[in-house]
Amino acid sequence: SAVISQKPSRDICQRGTSLTIQCQVDSQVTMMFWYRQQPGQSLTLIATANQGSEATYESGFVIDKFPISRPNLTFSTLTVSNMSPEDSSIYLCSVGGLALIAGNEQFFGPGTRLTVL
Considering the rule CB under 8 A, would residue 59 count as an interface residue with other proteins?
Answer: no
One of 57, 61, 75, 107 touching other proteins (CB under 8 A): 107
- 35 Cβ neighbours under 8 A, 6+ residues apart: 43, 44, 45, 46, 91, 92, 93, 94
Give residues 4-23 in contact with other proteins (rule: CB under 8 A).
none
- Toward other proteins, which CB reaches closer, 89 or 106? 106
Give residues 18-47 in contact with other proteins (rule: CB under 8 A).
31, 33, 42-43, 45
DSSP one-letter code for 110:
-
Neighbours of 24 (CB within 10 A): 15
Considering the rule CB under 8 A, would residue 73 count as an interface residue with other proteins?
Answer: no
- Toward other proteins, which CB reaches closer, 85 or 100? 100
DSSP one-letter code for 53:
S
- 57 Cβ neighbours under 8 A, 6+ residues apart: 46, 47, 63, 66
Considering the rule CB under 8 A, would residue 91 count as an interface residue with other proteins?
Answer: no
Q: Least distance from C-beta 7 to other proteins, angstroms?
A: 14
Output the CA torsion sign for 71, 74, 75, 76. Answer: positive
Where do contacts with other proteins occur on this chain (CB under 8 A)? 31, 33, 42-43, 45, 48, 56, 92, 94, 96-97, 103-111
